[in-house]
Amino acid sequence: MDFSFTKKEEKFRTELRTWLEANLPEGWLEGKRDLPEDLDEYSRVLRAWQHTLYEGGWAAIAWPKEYGGRGASLMEEIIYHQEMVRVKAPPLINYIGIHMVGPTLIDIGTDEQKERYLKKILTGEEIWCQGYSEPGAGSDLTGLKTRAVKDGDHWLINGQKVWTSFGHVADKCFLLTRTSTHPEKKHRGITVFMMDMHQPGVETLPIVQMDGHSEFNEVYMTDAVATDADIVGQVDSGWHVLIALMLHERTGIGAELFTLEKQFNDTVELAQQYKVNGKPLIENPAIRQKLASFYARVRGSLLNYYKNLTTTIKNGQPGAETSIDKLVVTELNQALSAFAVEIQGHQGVLVDKDAVADPKWQHLFLASFGQTIGGGTSEVQRNTIGERVLGLPKDMGR
């Protein structure tokens, strides 16, 4: 592995930095980064940022040029993520559309579907969520009960999804349904639809999380309608569509490692500024030892991510090793944010305006539990790593 960047790649970095300095929201680089609390205004601001990225050609750099991307190399993607983390760029409201649905449609979708959806994903005109998890099914996506039944020229969809990220702002849903009641195997008889979220029969109810935010949702479908043109892949053959999308998803999650590196640096800064008995915490040997341990874990995780990227470059597509990145980034994020709260002592229980230090740490810690569940739980990732990376026997509990 060679971790150095070529002149061409450094030129790419300079081009992106110049563009960010000219196009980030006013005051953003100077620290004015508060986003609106009101949901409609929040959505409007982030859709506008998505459109700004599109106009600059930075909405989906990894997509092929013919579909509005830059055909960027994986190394350029690394630089892109590094620079976005460096300036703490506004969050990507169409994350699922850009990193999961779009790449999957490019791989599997029909020409009509690419024409219909890809540009609107790039511009932020249509925001996407994914309808996978269901009550009672846990992480077993083959246990889904949402049914789609052919009725003349249409499909009628009935069922419930839960933990649907971005469902409260989404225009479209990448929906997993059961279309066969007696499949030979559980992963057969599944069909993926692209469902309109604004139609009658679709109700979205935000779930208030323990950090006070409502990013997850319940979605109820009662005779919601879709057509054959809304199917991705073939009827009853949605499992391979799902696998393709999840590989893209885990590659995107792995890129969050750069955010983790920034989070570690912020933790060091917290220990330098936060004082106990008049002395900065950073002077406490136990704190320094713990930070050193975190540094080693973050650096090790980053090097492993680079190793997986090298494998992806050689093979042309991500493999099961991406589960390592997903597992590591979410669990390390949880441990690091828990440590940042812990070192604040009893004041660590204070949140928002009552917090003594930056209240982001309390929110990061509380939100971290959802991240170890979304996109496949840590237990699922461990099974994937054991069976498909290490070649161990299948989990006897399944």
How many residues belong to the chain?
398
The answer to whether residues 267 and 294 touch, using CB atoms and an 8 Å cutoff, is yes
Q: In whole angstroms, what is the distance from residue 131 CA to residue 357 CA?
A: 37
Residue 307: which H helix or E strand, with range? helix 285-315
Neighbours of 17 (CB within 10 A): 14
Written as one letter, the residue type at 3 is: F
Residue 205: which H helix or E strand, with range? strand 202-207
The answer to whether residues 175 and 131 touch, using CB atoms and an 8 Å cutoff, is yes
Q: Tokens in use for 304?
A: 């492993």
Which whole-number Å values give the CA distances from 24 to 27, 36, 60, 89, 321, in the listed order?
8, 16, 17, 8, 34
The DSSP result for 78-121, as a single string, is HHHHHHHHHTTPPP-TTHHIIIIIHHHHHHH--HHHHHHHHHHH
Q: One of 76, 83, 134, 249 is an active-site residue; which one?
A: 249
Look at residues 81, 70, 130 and name the one whose alpha carbon lies nearest to residue 254: 81
DSSP H helices in 110-180: 111-123
Q: In whole angstroms, what is the distance from residue 301 CA to residue 254 CA?
A: 10
What's the gap between Cα 107 and its chain centre? 19
Is 76 catalytic? The answer is no
| Catalytic annotation, residues | 249
